[in-house]
């Protein structure tokens, strides 16, 4: 996941230097900037546990490290979903128009919510009813 978010961020950071970037209107520039912000923050949050581990290694702070890494991962995943959704909107807008972009962005949000939130929560709820193996 770390490599993927780094590649997405790098790709987004190069877009303004491409010849066709100027086809984005003001609203898509806002979406682009929000998407870049989400990708950069996601990169920072998803890589943060590595830095924390290096700095806290052998200091007997495992509980704090695990809690902080857990929170960073959650926030990083949310921002990664936002970044990928934003990128979907930008690409669909450039290729197929605004209506297609909004539909594709909405679909991306639904997919991320379903697989990253609803499904895990439903599995967690079902876990209470089944005996431990």
Q: Locate the domains of the chain by residue range.
A: 2-128
pTM of the complete model: 0.80
Residue 60: which region, alpha, beta or left (left: phi > 0; alpha: psi -120 to 50)? Answer: left
pLDDT, tens digit, 9 for 90 and up, residues 4-14:
778 888 888 88
Q: Where is average pLDDT lowest: 19-23, 88-92, 106-110?
A: 19-23
């Amino acid at each position: 996941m770390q490599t993927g978010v780094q590649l997405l961020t790098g790709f987004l950071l190069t877009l303004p230097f491409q010849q066709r970037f100027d086809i984005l209107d003001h609203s898509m520039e806002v979406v682009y900037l929000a998407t870049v912000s989400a990708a950069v923050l996601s990169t920072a949050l998803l890589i943060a546990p590595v830095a924390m581990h290096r700095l806290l290694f052998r200091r007997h702070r495992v509980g704090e490290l695990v809690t902080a890494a857990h929170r960073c991962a959650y926030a990083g995943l949310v921002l990664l979903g936002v970044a990928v959704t934003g990128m979907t909107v930008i690409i669909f807008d450039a290729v197929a128009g605004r209506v297609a972009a909004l539909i594709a962005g909405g679909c991306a949000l639904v997919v991320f919510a379903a697989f990253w939130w609803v499904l895990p929560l439903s599995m967690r709820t079902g876990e209470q009813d089944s005996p431990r193996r």
